[in-house]
Structures are given as C-alpha cells and as structure tokens.
C-alpha cells in the first residue's frame, strides 16, 4: 500500500469487498475486481509519479512545488478509487493526472495546504521511484530553465509536447483547439531554440 505522509497506510477503497484497513476481504467477484483495480492504481502511481513531478517542473514549478502538486493529484486519484467504478471511467489516466497536477500547482498559494494523508514516493520492495534532483539530468535542467522563460500557456503546451501528447490531446486538456496548440508550440520552440542554441534540425528538445 502507498504510505501516508506519516508513514501509515491510507484507508482501503470503500465499498463491497473492502475490510477498511487497506486490505480487500473475501474472494468473490467484487473483491477480486477491487484487488485488480488497486493493483493497477499502485502500478500507475509507481510508474507515473516521477514523470508527473517532471511535467509540473516543466510548467515552471520548483521541485518542492511540483512534488506537492503531484501528491495532491494522486490523492484525488486515490479518492476516485474509493468510489466503485470511478477510476475505470478515466479514459486517459496519463493526461488526467497531469492536468490535475497542473491545476493543483496553479492554485493561489493560499489554497495550498497539506492534506491529512498524502501519497509519498518511496523506494520499496516493489521498486517504487523517488524523485530527487539527481534524477534530473543536467541537460533537462537547462531545458527547464529555458521553459521558465516562456509564458505560462506556452510552458503548458510544451510540457505536454515533451511528454509525447499530440496537439489534439494537449488541446483537450488545455481547452485549446488543435491549431492553437500547434501555433503556441511553434512559437515556444522558436524561443527555446534561441535560448538553447538549437535549430529545428536538432529535433525535440526533451533531453
């Protein structure tokens, strides 16, 4: 189970088949479905957490602010897991979690507060990853510095672009049309090329 901020396991998903202590009781269809959903969520968390932190940093956040936003976003995802069938309704979890994390980061400072129990990235027997500055390459830090010089909207477009999202996917999460995303991406790339001393022939600037 992902631990809370205070080293205690978070409550298990509510509903049929949940024992209320993080375990899933019984071996009927409902319990087996809960177990499968929980396993899928933990796998998603382990794989995506450090990528979401990097995404928010590409949107201009410091490491600490990005971690806070990512933890809040995964807590929202965890809450969905507490409602039967809700997590399964998320069509694109990768895009959804990044959008939630970005919105968490963009909240006014006064609205940011530590939730009573949050998911912490830990290195455990399952191989969970922990994000540190060491995990971010020097070249990636140069790109992040250049991204911070962009307008917030351009940063967000490029953050999705660097994660491999298409113009249509990025537009859906940023409430922009495909063409608006392409126009902003083109503008952002020109600015980044000047700052990083790159040309279009150098390809994507996500290293």
Question: Do residues 12 and 64 both lie within one domain?
Answer: yes
Domain ranges, residue 151: 137-207
pLDDT at residue 29 is higher than 70: no
Given a cut of 50, is residue 192 above it in pLDDT?
yes
Mean pLDDT, range 40-68, rounded to an integer: 92
Domain finish residue from 99, 132, 165: 132
Regarding whether 182 and 155 lie in a shared domain, the answer is yes
Same domain for 73 and 1: yes
Q: What is the CATH number of the domain that holds 207?
A: 1.10.10
Which whole number is the average pLDDT over 6-33? 49
Q: Total domain count for the chain?
A: 2
The per-residue pLDDT for 81 is 79
- For residues 111-135, give the mean pLDDT: 44
Asked if 44 and 129 touch (Cβ cutoff 8 Å), the reply is: no
Provide mean pLDDT across the span 51-68: 94
Of residues 167 and 12, more confidently modeled: 167
Q: What is the average pLDDT value for the chain, to the nearest integer?
A: 75
**H-helix or E-strand containing 32?**
helix 29-58
Judge if 147 and 120 occupy the same domain. Answer: no
pLDDT tens-place string over residues 33-53: 667 777 878 888 999 999 999
11-14: list long-range contacts, CB under 8 Å, 24+ apart.
11/82, 12/38, 13/37, 13/38, 13/81, 13/82, 13/84, 14/82, 14/83
Q: What is the pLDDT, as a whole number, of residue 99? A: 96
pLDDT digits (tens, 9 = 90+) for 139-187: 777 888 889 999 999 999 999 999 999 999 999 999 999 999 999 999 9
Query: Which residue has better confidence, 128 or 92?
Result: 92
Do 99 and 187 lie in one domain? The reply is: no
What's the rounded Cα separation, in Å, for the pair 65 and 43?
A: 23
């Amino acid at each position: 189970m992902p631990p809370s901020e205070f080293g205690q396991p978070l409550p298990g998903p509510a509903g049929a088949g949940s024992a209320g202590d993080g375990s899933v009781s019984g071996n009927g269809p409902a319990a087996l479905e809960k177990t499968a959903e929980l396993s899928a969520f933990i796998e998603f968390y382990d794989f995506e957490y450090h990528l979401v932190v990097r995404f928010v940093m590409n949107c201009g956040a410091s490491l600490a602010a990005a971690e806070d936003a990512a933890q809040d976003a995964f807590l929202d995802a965890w809450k969905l897991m507490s409602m039967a069938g809700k997590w399964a309704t998320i069509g694109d979890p990768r895009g959804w979690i990044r959008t939630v994390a970005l919105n968490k980061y963009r909240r006014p400072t006064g609205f940011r507060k530590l939730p009573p129990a949050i998911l912490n990235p830990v290195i455990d027997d399952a191989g969970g990853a922990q994000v540190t500055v060491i995990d971010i390459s020097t070249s990636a830090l140069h790109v992040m510095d250049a991204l911070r010089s962009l307008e917030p909207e351009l940063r967000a477009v490029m953050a999705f672009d660097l994660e491999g999202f298409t113009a249509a996917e990025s537009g859906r999460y940023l409430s922009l049309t495909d063409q608006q995303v392409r126009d902003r991406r083109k503008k952002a790339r020109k600015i980044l090329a000047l700052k990083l001393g790159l040309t279009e022939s150098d390809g994507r600037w996500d290293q």
